[in-house]
């Protein structure tokens, strides 16, 4: 049976890709951010996941405002990226796990989630930059299942809906009959706003609250409406929907192993976390 070994949360702002390409890891501006991945690299080398299920939001490469699904699941054997216009290099293709994707899709539909099924799906920097951060070498040793969540075009899904989405996926992963070590990834900034009169807005106190509650009490965060979240976290802070879906997918006893919080990275609160997921042992009937 497949098992969920844990989760990683990280930002994905495009300027990180440019910094990686220009080898600015030890630049004073970038070093505090990149150092936050030292533990991630250690954890990945120790846990050796086979597959990464990645919750992310598309930025117009695969979907646009005229056609933007609330939830979309990739079901391909390979995922390509293309030039997004951010000045970052086009990423290498990433292998998929189509069989696992279809298992998750079937489980989501059975749980009454209406998902868009994508047998040909481009991925953008919200996937490729986290991959480059987690595995900085020439090989990315995992297959992926990308799951897109709409954080762009209102109405957005609620935090509660995304938590339930993650939980449905977590149950489906653990019912998959193949022996796989699966990690879940949530990508996106914490508080940030890139436009309008509040451009540059960051709320460190609210970010700290989110990072505490998401581990032990994620349900508490679902009490905030999307409009509350925009007010407290900025118009792009709603990328946290990806994080709470990632947390929902971990069905065992979850603990935080690592946290790094750094600003500013492109006017974005950039957090990096690693969560352990200990499978709950079922009690035998008396």
Q: Which residues are catalytic?
A: 125, 192
Angstrom distance (rounded) from CA 6 to CA 255:
9
How many C-alpha atoms does 60 have within 13 Å on its Cβ side? 5
9, β-bridge pairs:
186, 273
Look at strands 3-10 and 181-187 and give their pairing. Answer: parallel
**Cβ-contact 93, 105 below 8 angstroms:** no
Angstrom distance (rounded) from CA 219 to CA 68:
27
How many C-alpha atoms does 25 have within 13 Å on its Cβ side? 11
User: Tokens 């995304």 — which residue?
Assistant: 162
> Which residues does 26 contact at the CB level (< 8 Å), separation at least 6?
34
Q: Strand, coil or helix: what is 218?
A: helix
Query: What letter would DSSP give residue 195?
Result: S
**Cβ-contact 174, 251 below 8 angstroms:** yes
User: Tokens 């489906």 — which residue?
Assistant: 172
């Amino acid at each position: 049976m497949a098992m969920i070994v844990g989760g990683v949360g990280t930002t994905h702002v495009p300027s990180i890709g440019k910094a990686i390409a220009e080898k600015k890891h030890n630049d004073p501006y970038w070093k505090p951010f990149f150092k936050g991945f030292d533990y991630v690299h250690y954890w990945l080398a120790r846990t050796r996941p086979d597959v990464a299920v990645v919750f992310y939001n598309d930025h117009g490469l695969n979907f646009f405002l005229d056609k933007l699904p609330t939830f979309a699941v990739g079901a391909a054997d390979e995922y390509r990226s293309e030039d997004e216009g951010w000045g970052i290099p086009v990423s290498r293709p990433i292998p998929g796990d189509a069989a696992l994707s279809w298992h998750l899709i079937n489980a989501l539909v059975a749980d009454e989630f209406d998902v868009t099924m994508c047998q040909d799906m481009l991925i953008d920097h919200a996937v490729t930059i986290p991959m480059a951060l987690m595995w900085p070498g020439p090989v990315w040793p995992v297959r992926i299942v990308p799951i897109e969540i709409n954080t762009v075009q209102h109405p957005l899904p609620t935090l509660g809906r995304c938590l339930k989405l993650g939980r449905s996926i977590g149950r489906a992963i653990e019912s998959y009959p193949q022996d796989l070590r699966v990690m879940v990834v949530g990508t996106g900034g914490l508080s940030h706003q890139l436009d309008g009169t509040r451009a540059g807005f960051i709320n460190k106190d609210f970010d700290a609250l989110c990072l505490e509650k998401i581990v032990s009490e994620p349900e508490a965060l679902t009490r905030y409406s999307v409009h509350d979240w925009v007010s407290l976290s900025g118009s792009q802070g709603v990328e946290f929907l990806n994080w709470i879906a990632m947390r929902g997918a971990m069905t065992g006893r979850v603990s935080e192993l690592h946290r790094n919080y750094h600003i500013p990275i492109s006017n974005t609160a950039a957090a990096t976390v690693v969560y352990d997921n200990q499978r709950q042992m079922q009690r035998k009937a008396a």
